[in-house]
Chain A
Amino acid sequence: MPADRALRIVLAEDSVLLRDGLVGLLTRFGYEVVAAVGDADALLAAVAEHTPDVVVTDVRMPPGFQDEGLHAAVKLREERPGLPVLVLSQYVQRAYAAELLDSGDGTGVGYLLKDRVGQVEEFVDALREVAAGGTVVDAEVVRQLLRRRRDPLARLTPREREVLALMAEGKSNGAIAKALVVSEAAVGKHIGSILTKLDLPPADDTHRRVLAVLAYLRG
């Protein structure tokens, strides 16, 4: 996180009430909202104009109130690979998450339930993670997926599945250790075992954690 410069954000949200609230929230946490727009076309234009560091967008926007925001996000990531995008949805569904994660290599992507903005600090943490190139998927999607026992997840132990779920939420080893009340070394061991079981051998690839999460989400 560069301390000398505030992260520049383009925000797309059609509800004026919520947009103003989000601008206030982001500003308060030291982000610079360079543009706050109300529909998908304006979002594309604003990104082209301002080249922000992060994009935060709602899924459902005018004119169709379908999934315009999501499509805009996918399009933006096609045009600018690596542009961090955080998508907010009224409810989380795997279909939306999959479409978003398939864009680019799955890094620098966040897919969160809109309600999460109420938990202000968690929301800002997630945004920070995405801006830093991490992958954040809402705990609700993760929970839904956990209910379905499918290969290769079937090979994971319950504890390993818990660790993987927390990884999908974008948590660091330290944060996972804290959440599960175990040592960080134990978390590292679990992750190593998960990567082996998911057939992700050690390599120079720095995104193995992301790949594990993606393999898991795509089922």
Chain B
Amino acid sequence: MTITDRQDKPAASSRAGQLSRRLADAVYVILLWALVLLAGWHLARHEIYWDWSSTGRNVLSTESLEVLSALQSPLTLRVFVAPDHPLVREIEQVLMRYRRASDKVKVDYIDPIRAPELAREFDVRLLGQLVLDYQGRRESLARLDEPTLTNAIARLSQTRAPWIALLEGHGERSPSGGTGRDIGRLGQWLEQRGFRLQPVDLARLSRIPTNTDVLVLSTPSIALFPGEAEALIDYVSAGGNLLWLLDPGDWLGFAPLAEALGIERLPGQIVDAAGSAFDVAAPNVAVVADWPAHALWQGLGAPAFFPGAVAFAPDLASRLAPDWQLVAELASGEQSWNETGPIRGKIARDADLGEQPGPLPFLLALKRAVPSALRAGGGAMAASALAEQRLVLVGDGDFLSNAALERGANRELGLRLLRWLGGEELMEAKADHNDQPLALTTGQAFAISLFALVILPLGFLLLALASVWRRRHG
């Protein structure tokens, strides 16, 4: 559309002039857009940005940066969601920081509806599920935040598969057995996740192999021989990592090891009234539903169930053998105690029998620095390359048994503990001072409403009236 039609010139030459001007305009517009798109494309290739938010949500923590800098080859993150889904923005908010921090991180958005065979191959169950792929090893994440993703990348970049030795020969919980008491399902599940399991019989071997990353002890049915307990003490003092699943009852030959570590148990087993809230019929099941704040159980939503657990002495931290530090612990609920009598009929706490009120600790994660003499000498365990020796004591072996493995968060908790023992570094969630709930008093709310709905609009309205008045009279 032309705005002014001033046709002074002869029609023919004007038409030719108009045509050439149109052509010039078209070329101008095309060149202009090409320039803009090229410049925009160039800018988009370099992700330079500044984080203005006070929470620093848009920058990576140093732990994550360290993990990323250790990457040797490309890490592919496959996100199973359509690229135009609103969820992508939320996901991209987290992934952008990783992509920016390392050029090894590649992100693929895959629409599970358009690529169903791929979704099947990666066992996708959720929209927005993330599958990490690093040097042929894969890991699937159902939730996405920085600690979860960083821990997963750290796990994947560990090249060696941890060796897990399981003590056997005395009727321990068997990694190949199928009864309710055995840990066959856990064993299977661990092997699928890259752990290598190795039964160890101290009647045939004089000591625990030095390439063991984690030794798992469970309660036997026949007592250990003194020489075998000796071998276990040697293993721990040489810097070996240990998962010890205890049960109520006698020490069954483990007493020297417990003494060497400075561990004391309370008599009886834990009974916890909190269990009834989770449809647990038996009173002797300790339930952890409110996970304490620690990276080891961060993100575990479901409760974990510990049937027939033995409690450790509440002031255990002060009695531990030298150098050992308590990293984290799980305790039973407020309404629990260690029942020494049989669990039958109506039971109540009897202080005279040494029954102490809850909360009672029944799962301890301990660590100590590996003595430097060990690291220099030849006798150290392979695992002590970590410079830190780790120990997990659980007052209950049943929570990983075939019967209880699938309950709540039991399986995930077992995996976390073994991974930590195997040398996985944990990234603590950043304490966020902004993560308190907000509540406005009625007075505050009234003041805010008054400002937003009355003062502000009315002020503008008055200014409008004033300007009109000034134009008329001023």
A binds B: no
